[in-house]
Structure 1
Amino acid sequence: MCNFVFLILFMLEKKTIAYERAVLIGVITKDQDEAKSKEYLDELEFLTYTAGGEVVKRFTQKIDVPNPKTFIGTGKMDEVEQFVKSNDIGSVIFDDELSPSQQKNIERLLKCKIIDRTGLILDIFAQRAKTSYARTQVELAQYQYLLPRLTGLWTHLERQRGGIGMRGPGETEIETDRRIVRDKIALLRKKMVTIDKQMAVQRGNRGALIRVALVGYTNVGKSTLMNVISKSEVFAENKLFATLDTTVRKVVIGNLPFLLSDTVGFIRKLPTQLVDSFKSTLDEVREADLLLHVVDISHPNFEDHIASVNQILSEIKSGDKPTVMVFNKIDAYTHETIDSDDLVTEKTKAHYTLDDWKKTWMNSSAEDVLFISALNKENLDEFKRKVYTVVREIHVTRFPYNNFLYPDYEDLQ
């Protein structure tokens, strides 16, 4: 019996994931108050966990302008240095993008891996890229990011260190690194041109079907919704950027067929390298006839997420497309309550019920707003009715000669 218990414990220990110990560093500025800084660090911690790290401590500093040499002040840097030395920290992760000189100076002081938000996101993308298409996009973004950061860090495209921030194309010696990396970037860009043409041909071969794209912040449940609606098995997980490759499925609601695509999730401070490299992926959004903007309403800052997604949509010239707002995860939504005899506490958004939210700015566009739970399949009939109605309107406008084929949704019942 004891041997059996020992065997079970041994097997459980072998399966235990060894997370890399990390600390996070953020700043409080005139443009980013303490609450916003905490929110960003919460997201950075989730990113770190997704990449395989364990956050041991956070450091924040109030500063008007980031230090051009070390991002944070010397006093705070000394505090971080002491903590790193005494707690076996493998990585120090900054919430903002560091300049190459800042990264080099900080690494010299702390003598451990220094990663910024952009590098962390690129590392997660390197883990998540499964297809040759996605790997090419990620590799191009990584090389573009690494090019100005090569000095003294790399040797002959061999991996010297593992863990967070070290996945990817490799490392080169200083006397040849820039030439090698620039040549590699040129080759990858040529490959991307070929991929872009292939993807354009694939999109062109899809015929006259209406195209619908799921867009939204990362980890809002797009893949779960895709699986429910299309009865497919798109990978879905409670981690950021669980889905990297664009998936397209033919969906039929009632008797009306259309194409539904699940795209990569957006995030605040999205690296420009990724926006450029994932041009073909974003073309699925650009060429869509209808956007389903999925929002995690259970997240306390979902309005900021909406603004971030809308900004990126505007940047890729897709902000004016027909859009239906789909507020997901209503099963996980919670709110603070106020006692009826409490005359002091002021009601804020933290106290809003779902009905309260429906009476806010959402009320002005109520016809294009849905509240669902993809996980528990709540309100999916309403979702199908709305999507059918909008897709039908687009189809009838485009092909008026066969509008008799698709009656109103109510007539299908």
Structure 2
Amino acid sequence: MDLAILAGIDTGRENFDYEMSELAALTEAAEIKPDLTIIQKLDKPVTATYFGSGKLTEIKEAASATEAEFLIMNDELTPTQLRNCEDQTGLTVIDRTALILQIFARRAQTREAKLQVQIASLQYRLPRLRTSSLNRFDQQTAGSGGGFTSRGAGETKMELNRRTIQDQITHLRRQLKEVEAEEKTKRKSRDRSNLKTVALVGYTNAGKSTTMNHLLSLTGQDPDKQVLEKNMLFATLDTSVRHLEFDDHKQILLSDTVGFVSRLPHQLVEAFKTTLAEAAQADLLVQVVDVSDPHAKQMVKTTEETLEEIGVRGIPMIYAFNKADLTPGLRYPEIAGDQITFSARDEESIKLLSQMIKKTVFADFVTRTYLIPFDQGKFLEQLNSNATIQKTDYTAEGTLITAEVSPATAGIMQRFEFETSK
């Protein structure tokens, strides 16, 4: 595995140590081994070289001693800074944005995700066409399926100039609009089902996919419907939607969304808006948090800031503090208000989370009794399909049925309401 020196400037920014630990995890996700971390304290980065000249000399000497090939920076660098750092250290320089884009390029599976990442990568490349470090990074990663080269684009980066990149971005955006229109049609179809929707959100690698799979298993769903679980940042970029039915026959659509990361590159914000469309339209968000991580509070803040940035607001949220089994002395499963401490791999925890989701998302449901004439059988079928039936009796006038119904169904069935005191 290639070795890298991690580097950053400490300007006194809050949570700098957290950002550097996150940079190490991102580096490993890009299949590069962090070998050494070098930090310089400055009020702000040097305009031309990011680091001071003395620190760049230190990095060059450290690279010679460790045989590191990459210098991975904690900030997004200007084209000039990238070029000068590379010239003065002899290393391939990768900034934080390029690193995240590289990971996204490897992880994208669906056509929509691939298009989003290709567009973001091209936007990043555009002002950096003369920065040779990006070319070397691509050459070294292309063999493993990653890199910034748009698969199927028919051109290498060396052949691209500013005009061809702009033309390619336009072409890809046109394709993306077509895919988004198809996805919008699918969402409209799901909306017509009147099913409640719940979206799992949270920091990457917090355990969203594991939580989703165990919720599906609890309700007896087909194992083939389970989603990818992997202990790494951004194991998947694609939103997975599954149908889930509780033991009382209430049903929801449950989605597992792409994870968040601090200081998300602005090139990917638009991509997140589309990818997280399921979350933006959900009836309930479940924010999964790795409670065993010392930076858990910052992860919650990052998630909520990202949701705000992409326009997801005003949706009820459950805070699900996962991985309690990895925290000595922490009691679980346990509910406190809108929070649950649990372990996604613990059956009792999943049962309690399932009950909490059901109670929250169906809080607006009401219990009503209806007398439905025998010649109005279609309304009886509607109740059996869309409501939780509690009791059924047959009278001379028709079917007397007590059910827990949604506000929408209650409105439709209002004319059949039966006063039990009659």
TM class, shorter-chain normalised?
A: 0.7 to 0.9
TM superposition shift of 1:149: 0.8
Number of aligned residue pairs: 361
Structure 1 residues without counterparts, runs of 5 or longer:
1-18, 336-352
Quick check: which one's strand share is greater? Answer: 2
Tell me, in whole angstroms, the C-alpha distance in 2 between the residues paired with 1:295 and 1:159.
Answer: 33
Query: Counterpart in 2 of 1:58?
Result: 37
Q: Which residue of 2 aligns with 1:203?
A: 187
C-alpha deviations, 1:267-292, integer Å up to 9, x for none?
10111111112332121111111101
Note if 1:118 corresponds to 2:92. no
**Alignment partners' CA distance in 2, 1:300 and 1:226:** 24
Scaled by the length of structure 1, the TM-score of the pair is 0.81
Q: Is the 8 A contact 1:70 1:106 kept in 2?
A: yes
Aligned pair in 2 of structure 1 residues 126, 155: CA closer, same or farther (>3 Å)? closer
Q: Which residue of 1 aligns with 2:408?
A: none
Match of 2:375 in 1: none
- 1:55 CA displacement: 1.1
Measure the CA separation in 2 of the matches of 1:268 and 1:317: 17
Superposed counterparts of 1:31-110, under 5 Å: 31-32=13-14, 36-110=15-89
Question: Counterpart in 2 of 1:268?
Answer: 262
Q: Among residues 393, 397, 400, which one is paired with 2:363 in the alignment? A: 393
State the shift of 1:320 in Å.
1.6
State whether structure 2 residue 12 is matched by structure 1 residue 30. yes
Are 1:191 and 2:175 an aligned pair? yes
Residue in structure 1 matched with residue 342 of structure 2 by the alignment: 372
Q: Show CA shifts across 1:283-311 (max 9, x none).
A: 11111111011111011110111011111
Does structure 1 conserve the Cα–Cα contact (< 8 Å) formed by 2:29 and 2:233? yes
**CA 23–158 in structure 1, closer or farther in 2 if over 3 Å, else same:** closer
User: Match for 1:186: what amino acid?
Assistant: T
Query: Which AA in structure 2 matches 1:193?
Result: K
Match of residue 216 from structure 1: 202
In 2, distance between residues paired with 1:245 and 1:121? 16
Distance in structure 2 (CA, Å) of the matches to 1:149 and 1:59 = 25
Among 269, 276, 279, the alignment partner of 1:282 is 276
Q: Does 1:322 align with 2:316?
A: yes
Gaps of 5+ in 2: 218-224, 371-381, 391-402, 405-422
Partners of 1:145 and 1:372 lie apart in 2 by: 40
**Cα RMSD, aligned residues only:** 2.9
The Cα shift of 1:317 comes to 2.2
Give the C-alpha shift of residue 157 in structure 1: 12
- Whole-angstrom CA distance in 2 between matches of 1:41 and 1:67: 19
Contact 2:71 2:94 in 1 (8 A): yes
CA distance in 1, matches of 2:345, 2:327: 13
The residue aligned with 1:381 is 351
Give the direction of change, closer, same or farther, for the CA distance of 1:332–1:178 in structure 2 (3 Å limit). same
Of residues 155-164 and 319-328 in structure 1, the stretch that sits farther from structure 2 once superposed is: 155-164
State the Cα distance separating 1:236 from its structure 2 match. 0.9
- Which deviates further from its counterpart, 312-321 or 159-168? 159-168
Deviations 1:221-279 (A, max 9, x none): 00001111123321111100112111000001121111000000001011111111233
Contact 2:92 2:133 in 1 (8 A): no
Distance in 1, matches of 2:320 and 2:292, equals 13
Q: Which residue of 2 aligns with 1:247?
A: 240
Single out whichever of 154-163 and 368-377 deviates more from structure 2. 154-163
AA of the residue aligned to 2:187: R
1:181 alignment partner, one of 165, 186, 210 = 165
Q: Is residue 405 from structure 1 mapped to residue 403 from structure 2 by the alignment?
A: no
**Alignment-mate amino acid for residue 245 of structure 1:** D
**In structure 1, the residue corresponding to 2:61 is in which secondary structure?**
helix
